[in-house]
Amino acid sequence: MTLTKLGNYHLYFTARDVNESAHLHANSPKPVKVGAAKIWIRSDGTAEIAKKGNISNKDLKMICTHITENYLFYLHEWEKYFNSLQIHGEPNKEFTITVDKGTGELKLKELETSNVFKK
């Protein structure tokens, strides 16, 4: 899901990122994993490069500065997106996902559900 286009770069996350702390991928010209940078969004607003991808150091610095300046927006979007997903694990159990604003860590919360999986 592309959140922002910064110059030629797409800043995005994917549903597969659900088990990790808040981060963005950056890539150009398309939002695909191959060659993408991965940047952690820390709860104090800092951006930490986890994977450089095929992005120049100059552009990575620009992207990290943008993320730092807008980190509350990105943390909010992360929480909103992953909170809207329901993970179906064991039968009769559903979970919602929240982001701890202090640590940036994801937390799963089991929901009480109907017996939708029971036959």
Helix (H, G, I), strand (E, B) or coil at 69: helix
Query: So what's the pLDDT on residue 65?
Result: 96
Residue 48 has pLDDT above 70, yes or no: yes
Residue 92 has pLDDT above 70, yes or no: no
Residue 70 has pLDDT above 50, yes or no: yes
Residue 53 has pLDDT above 60, yes or no: yes
pLDDT band at 119 (very low <50, low <70, confident <90, very high): very low
In terms of DSSP bridges, do strands 37-41 and 106-111 run parallel, antiparallel, or are they unpaired? unpaired
Helix (H, G, I), strand (E, B) or coil at 41: strand
Query: How far is it, in rounded angstroms, from Cα 82 to Cα 89?
Result: 16
Sequence spans of domains, the chain: 2-111
Query: How far is it, in rounded angstroms, from Cα 56 to Cα 73?
Result: 25
Query: So what's the pLDDT on residue 118?
Result: 37
More confident: 9 or 99: 9
**Percent over 70 (pLDDT), the chain:** 68
Query: So what's the pLDDT on residue 78?
Result: 87
Its pTM surpasses 0.85: no
